[in-house]
Amino acid sequence: MADWLTSEYLEAALQQHYENNQLRVEFVAINPALGKGENYGAILSRIRLVYRNRLGSKVEEHLIAKTILENEDVETKEKKAPYDIYNRELEIYEKVLPKLQKIAGEQLCPTVLHIDRQRGALIMEDLRYKGYVMAPRLERLNEHHVSLVLRKLAKMQAASAVLEENSKESPFSLTKYDRGFFNRYTESFSAYFLGCLMSCANYLKTQPGYGCQAKLLENLAPHYMRLGLRCFQPEDAHINVLTHGDLWTNNMMFKYEEGVPSDVLLIDFQYAFWGSPTLDIHHLLNTSAVEQVRSELQIKMRCVYHDVFVEELKRHGFKSQRLPSRKQFHLESEQKRFYAVHCGLLLQPVLLNTDETDADFAALLSDQPRGMNMKRRLYLNSAIQDSIRQLVGQFELEGLLDPRQYEGL
């Protein structure tokens, strides 16, 4: 926990938010919100506090503090710096999401009470006390959960296309967010990505009948960053949006009614970027969906998203581009489908990791023995192994392991 996150700091933040200089915090308890290996990009702390309001009555407040990883080594900080994830998220929460929620006409994310640019910190409502909870990370999401997420995502992203259309004369453009996992400014995550790629190949070498796929992954390595970057480049002929950028189970919270999910809110916008909405769909399905949804219902899930996306754009009178037919949307999704390889073979093992040993961002970004051993252990997870074997065979059949897949023979 950050040593500056004190009762006095929170009191000042609440005074500013509620515009009440007489507000006094009388009790604070702060505890970790997530365990090791469940979040790699920031420190999340759960806060329970009691303060007195204008009438002198005691009020209990439950908050989440999201703060930067202060103890990271210099090399890790330098590798993360080009992504500017902390400033980006603060700006999106402050300047973008309130506008998107107004356009969409519904809540998309938690309410933020305080933004501290100097410390790279967010203080926001704890959604648990509004009835929202995280779905079990290791169980992954069934069709009902995935459909709900895609509907919410479609509303948010249609709103972003409308916001950009209405901001043509404004100096503020969502196109400025051009630093997704793959971007033209840096390849500082290459040790993370290529290390996982080679660890995946090494695991497959141990499996009878998978030597061919292991060799394909090894041959893919010199071309991997270029292929990923191609996916992240916006296509002028398609409707681009503000993507979430890191759409997996721990970055969303569900509300349930009689055991059935009825609403979802999105959290964690550190990697949000301007590009194809299909990338978020690939990300969600290949990191967080149960195997039956991923293997049998991908087309159906695209249609769930597409139908809401198009209806929302129609409702808002979007006119900048022609709205895509289902067929066109499927073609766009296939054009970006190499990203499914990245999400299924490389990100999924990290996000479903059950080994806490060295489970931190420094190890992911390192090509030294500690980092390589951490990435090797990711592929010792039996649940991941089953998924990897299934996915790699499918990806080979689709031609997604071919370095020249965009060029032809």
Average pLDDT, the chain: 94
Q: Can you tell me the mean pLDDT for 94-112?
A: 97
83 shares its domain with 172: yes
2 belongs to a structural domain: no
Find the radius of gyration of the CA atoms of the chain.
22
39 shares its domain with 99: no
- Residue for token digits 């895609």? 150
CB-CB contact of 41 with 85 (8 Å) = yes
Give the contacts of 129 (CB within 8 A, at least 6 positions apart).
Answer: 62
Question: What confidence tier does 74 reach under pLDDT thresholds 50, 70, 90?
Answer: confident
Q: Can you tell me the mean pLDDT for 378-388?
A: 95
**Amino acid identity of 270?**
Q
pLDDT given for residue 361 in this prediction: 86
126 belongs to a structural domain: no
176 belongs to a structural domain: yes
SS3 assignment, position 47: strand
For residue 145, what is the domain's CATH number?
Answer: 3.90.1200
- The number of domains in the chain is 2
313 belongs to a structural domain: yes
Of 67, 101, 119, the domain-final residue: 67
50 shares its domain with 79: no
82 shares its domain with 63: no
Residue 34 pLDDT more than 80? no
The alpha carbon of residue 307 and the mean position of all alpha carbons in its chain are separated, in whole angstroms, by 22
CB-CB contact of 120 with 87 (8 Å) = yes
92 shares its domain with 239: yes
178 shares its domain with 237: yes
Proportion of the chain above pLDDT 70, given as a percent = 98
122 belongs to a structural domain: no
**Amino acid identity of 396?**
E
Q: Can you tell me the mean pLDDT for 203-208?
A: 97
**pTM for the whole thing?**
0.94
Question: What confidence tier does 356 reach under pLDDT thresholds 50, 70, 90?
Answer: confident
Q: Can you tell me the mean pLDDT for 98-115?
A: 97
Cα separation, 343 vs 188, in Å, equals 18
Residue 35 pLDDT more than 60? yes
CA distances 282 to 74, 118, 231, 248, Å, are 33, 34, 11, 10
1 belongs to a structural domain: no
Q: What is the extent of the structural domain holding 46?
A: 7-67
**Amino acid identity of 48?**
R
Taking each helix axis from N to C terminus, what angle separates 97-104 and 143-165, rounded to the nearest 10 degrees?
100
The b-or-e profile of 60-71 (16+ CB within 10 A means b, else e) is ebebbbbbbbee
352 shares its domain with 389: yes
15 belongs to a structural domain: yes
Question: What confidence tier does 39 reach under pLDDT thresholds 50, 70, 90?
Answer: low
Structure tokens at 174: 């969502």
305 shares its domain with 339: yes
Residue 357 pLDDT more than 90? no
| DSSP state letters, 75-112 | HHHHHHGGG-HHHHHHHIIIIIHHHHHHHHTS--SPPE
189 shares its domain with 264: yes
346 shares its domain with 227: yes
Q: Can you tell me the mean pLDDT for 186-204?
A: 97
324 belongs to a structural domain: yes
pLDDT in tens, 259-286: 999 999 999 999 999 999 999 999 999 9
169-173, 296-300, 398-402: least confidently modelled range: 169-173
251 shares its domain with 348: yes
For residue 55, what is the domain's CATH number?
Answer: 3.30.360
Cα separation, 383 vs 353, in Å, equals 10
Residue 169 pLDDT more than 80? no
SS3 assignment, position 28: strand
pLDDT given for residue 408 in this prediction: 74
pLDDT in tens, 219-246: 999 999 999 999 999 999 999 999 999 9
Cα separation, 64 vs 46, in Å, equals 5
pLDDT given for residue 68 in this prediction: 84
Q: Can you tell me the mean pLDDT for 25-32?
A: 94
Of 41, 67, 93, the domain-final residue: 67
Residue 38 pLDDT more than 60? no
| Percentages of the chain per state (helix, strand, coil), in multiples of 5 | 50, 15, 35
| DSSP state letters, 58-80 | EEEEEEEEEE--TT--HHHHHHH
More reliable by pLDDT, 360 or 266 = 266
How many helices (H) and strands (E) would you count in the chain? 17, 10
CA distances 31 to 2, 34, 58, 403, Å, are 11, 9, 22, 47
pLDDT given for residue 265 in this prediction: 98
283 shares its domain with 379: yes
Most confident of 26-40, 68-82, 352-366, 376-390: 376-390
Please choose, from the candidates 50, 38, 117, the residue with its C-alpha nearest in 3D space to the C-alpha of residue 84.
117
